[in-house]
């Protein structure tokens, strides 16, 4: 019996469980909230994070990590980045060396600045050398849940693992490409959320297509610089996990990070915005981690730096935009 454990019952985790259910005999979805597990099992719907989609009987929900990963051949992590270490630490005693670990979390660990695949390796290494892949690309949860065609990347230093997950996860509306650069993929996945906040700010200020095109292009350059300095490949950032995800998140109205930026541009405070959100906007915390990582690696990240000032130093969006435009002139 093939069994998938999905660790994280937010919109993205639930959408992935729904999309991958036809590929597995059993999908166990770990959620934090007992009432949500009960609702999913009883009513066959995640009415909190992904309302409107009926879940098949092969998806079971529960709140115990030992139950979720029991006999699983693939463990798919979809928790917020700031909870990753804690959850994998609780999961570790129940993990087995033959399990494949796939991270679909898009962020960096706040204090250590580690990528999430590094966190998994760090937690599991005392017990065994985990086989780890990273799943990323231009995907909104609701569109995946609707079965709309999408393309995504599975990246790993282990080529056999990447190919195995490619075949296990791929379906008529879910196309996977393998990639051997998890550094570039994870940096791209994390930093695009920061640029998406900036894109939302521009939209909130009423700015048009010229500004957005410039922001996306220079944002991609910024992400690429950081990824390459961290050991990734510039080529990765020109693909689905870089440019593709960046374009989607900066322009799509389903983007939580863009929504945060839009409301900032409209004059709302960060505390007011986050107080009205049930789901995590990863870019808010990632902005601090990105600026810190860039400082560690000696990389210039002007957009992320200005977003950090807007988010955490009460800088006005208009002042941040002005300071970006008035930086010293450079060659592209």
Q: Which of 23, 106, 125, 192 is catalytic?
A: 192
322 phi and psi angles, rounded to 5 deg = -60, -45
d(CA 115, CA 217): 24
**Catalytic annotation present for 318:** no
| Number of other residues whose CB lies within 10 A of the CB of residue 287 | 29
Pick from 180, 248, 190, 262: which is nearest to 222 by CA? 190
237 phi and psi angles, rounded to 5 deg = -75, -10
Structure-block tokens of residue 307: 């977003």
Q: 74-77 and 150-155 as β-strands: parallel, antiparallel, unpaired?
A: unpaired
Q: Give the angle subtended at the CA of 151 by the CAs of 133 and 96, to the nearest 5°.
A: 20
Using CA of residue 179, residue 253, residue 214, residue 209, what is the dihedral sign? positive
Are the C-beta atoms of 41 and 30 separated by less than 8 Å? no
Are the C-beta atoms of 153 and 179 separated by less than 8 Å? yes
Q: What is the CA radius of gyration of the chain?
A: 19
DSSP state of 80: -
Helices (H), 79-158: 84-91, 116-124, 141-145
Residue 219 backbone class (left: φ over 0; alpha: ψ -120 to 50; beta: rest): alpha
List 50's β-bridge partners, or say none: 46
d(CA 31, CA 27): 13
What are the catalytic residues?
Answer: 192
């Amino acid at each position: 019996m093939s069994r998938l454990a999905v660790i994280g019952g937010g919109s993205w985790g639930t959408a992935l469980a729904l999309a991958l259910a036809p590929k597995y005999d059993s999908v166990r979805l770990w959620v934090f909230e007992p009432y949500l597990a009960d609702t999913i099992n009883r009513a066959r719907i995640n009415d909190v994070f992904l309302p409107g989609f009926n879940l098949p009987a092969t998806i079971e929900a529960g709140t115990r990590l030992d139950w979720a990963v029991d006999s699983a051949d693939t463990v798919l992590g979809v928790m917020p980045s700031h909870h990753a270490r804690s959850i994998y630490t609780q999961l570790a005693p129940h993990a087995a060396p033959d399990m494949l670990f796939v991270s679909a979390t898009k962020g960096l660990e706040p204090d250590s600045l580690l990528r999430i695949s590094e966190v998994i390796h760090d937690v599991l290494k005392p017990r065994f050398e985990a086989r780890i892949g990273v799943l990323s690309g231009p995907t909104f949860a609701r569109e995946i849940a609707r079965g709309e065609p999408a393309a995504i990347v599975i990246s790993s230093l282990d080529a056999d693992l990447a190919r195995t997950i490619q075949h296990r996860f791929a379906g008529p509306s879910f196309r996977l490409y393998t990639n051997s650069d998890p550094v570039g993929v994870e940096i791209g996945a994390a930093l695009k959320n920061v640029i998406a906040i900036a894109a939302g700010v521009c939209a909130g200020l009423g700015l048009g297509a010229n500004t957005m095109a410039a922001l996306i292009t220079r944002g991609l350059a910024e992400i690429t610089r950081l990824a390459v300095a961290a050991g990734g490949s510039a080529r990765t950032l020109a693909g689905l996990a870089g440019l593709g995800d960046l374009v989607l998140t900066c322009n799509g109205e389903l983007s939580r990070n863009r929504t945060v930026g839009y409301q900032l541009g409209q004059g709302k405070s960060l505390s007011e915005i986050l107080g009205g959100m049930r789901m995590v906007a990863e870019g808010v915390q990632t902005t601090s981690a990105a600026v810190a990582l860039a400082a560690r690696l000696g990389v210039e990240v002007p957009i992320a730096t200005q977003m950090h000032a807007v988010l955490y130093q009460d800088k006005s969006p208009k002042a941040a935009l002005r300071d970006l435009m008035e930086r010293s002139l450079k060659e592209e």
